[in-house]
Amino acid sequence: MDTGRPASYSGLADKTVFITGGGSGIGAAFTRAFAGQRARVGFVDIAEDASQSLVAEIQKETGTAPLFIACDLRDIAALQAAIEKIRIELGDIGVLINNAANDERHTMERVTPAYWDERIAVNVRHMFFAAQTVAPQMKRLGGGAIINLGSIIWRVKQPGLPVYNVAKASITGLTRVLAREFGHLGIRVNTLSPGAVWTERQIKLWYTPEFEKEVMAGQCLKTRVLPSDIANMALFLASEAAEKCTAQDFIVDAGWS
């Protein structure tokens, strides 16, 4: 059971937070966590049913519903339109969580130029354009925080999904470039890299008893990393407690990588 209780960051109250892929998995943990801080949360996701259910659950728990917009992030114009809608309805975005990704398994032999382009579009391209779009809003606010979701997967050299590994490795470079580009605006940019996180999807598709044995052998801490563990780090990075943290990669993997 995911029982992590986040710290309270008063500075996040009434701040507009935009989350990509916020309807399920780690993304849903972000949506819940920031809503629990009384932030104004807007999120996009391609999974409409799961997202609508999450909105209803959060509204019942907190009395305030996050704003959900259905969006396929491969369509950059649609992403930009969603960001503008959230700005209009919730105010200038002060926190961007670039979370959305898909770790579909694939072999080297399966990869075609079209598949490569589609996987890059799903896993990293939208992060750049989301950051580009929210930067003027953060400038008006006098600063902001961008959190790009990376992964330890390329560090542990996991086979079976080479394009995903490339995309996740590139996020570290994207973060460092954006941190320099936006630093003079007071915008902090960091990577948050999870290890093996026990989401419903991962358990259903990949996390066999054999895999758990491998993970536990690799981790220093012999305990499962939960979505709330990743959300807790995101709350810290978005808060004033992390005001001097930028251009860094924060790893939450129980000491595996």
257 domain residue, yes or no: no
54 and 23 in contact (C-beta within 8 Å)? yes
Residue 4 confidence (pLDDT): 55
Residue 164 is a catalytic residue: yes
Number of domain units in the chain? 1
Which stretch of DSSP H or E encloses residue 59? helix 48-62
How long a stretch of residues is the chain?
Answer: 257
Kindly report the average pLDDT of the chain as a whole number. Answer: 96
205 pLDDT above the threshold of 60: yes
What is the rounded distance in angstroms from the CA atom of residue 9 to the CA atom of residue 246? 18
5 domain residue, yes or no: no
What is the rounded distance in angstroms from the CA atom of residue 219 to the CA atom of residue 223? 8
**Looking at 9, 115, 164, 207, which residue is catalytic?**
164
Which stretch of DSSP H or E encloses residue 184? none
Over residues 92-118, mean pLDDT:
97
The proportion of the chain whose per-residue pLDDT surpasses 70, expressed as a percent, equals 98
Residue 1 confidence (pLDDT): 42
216 pLDDT above the threshold of 60: yes
Residue 67 β-bridge partners: 42
30 domain residue, yes or no: yes
44 and 57 in contact (C-beta within 8 Å)? no
Residue pLDDT, tens place only, 47-83: 999 999 999 999 999 999 999 999 999 999 999 999 9
Burial (Cβ within 10 Å: 0-12, 13-18, ≥19) of residue 218 = middle
Residue 189 β-bridge partners: 146
Q: Which residue has the tokens 């990577």?
A: 191
Q: State the CATH number of the domain containing residue 229.
A: 3.40.50.720
- Tokens in use for 81? 């339109």
The proportion of the chain whose per-residue pLDDT surpasses 90, expressed as a percent, equals 95
Over residues 200-221, mean pLDDT:
93
Neighbours of 182 (CB within 10 A): 22
2 domain residue, yes or no: no
Residue pLDDT, tens place only, 112-134: 999 999 999 999 999 999 999 99
Q: Strands 93-98, 144-149: parallel, antiparallel or unpaired by DSSP? A: parallel
112 domain residue, yes or no: yes
Residue 149 pLDDT class (50, 70, 90 cuts) = very high
What is the rounded distance in angstroms from the CA atom of residue 39 to the CA atom of residue 41? 6
Residue 206 confidence (pLDDT): 82
- The domain of 66 spans 10-250
2 pLDDT above the threshold of 60: no
1 domain residue, yes or no: no
The pTM of this model reads 0.96
42 domain residue, yes or no: yes
Over residues 100-105, mean pLDDT:
96
User: Is 202 or 232 the better-scoring residue by pLDDT?
Assistant: 232
Residue 157 confidence (pLDDT): 93
38 pLDDT above the threshold of 50: yes
4 domain residue, yes or no: no
Find the Cα–Cα–Cα–Cα dihedral 199, 102, 152, 247, rounded to 10°: -110
Half-sphere exposure of 255 (CA within 13 A, CB side): 7
Quick one: how far is CA 170 from the chain centroid?
A: 15
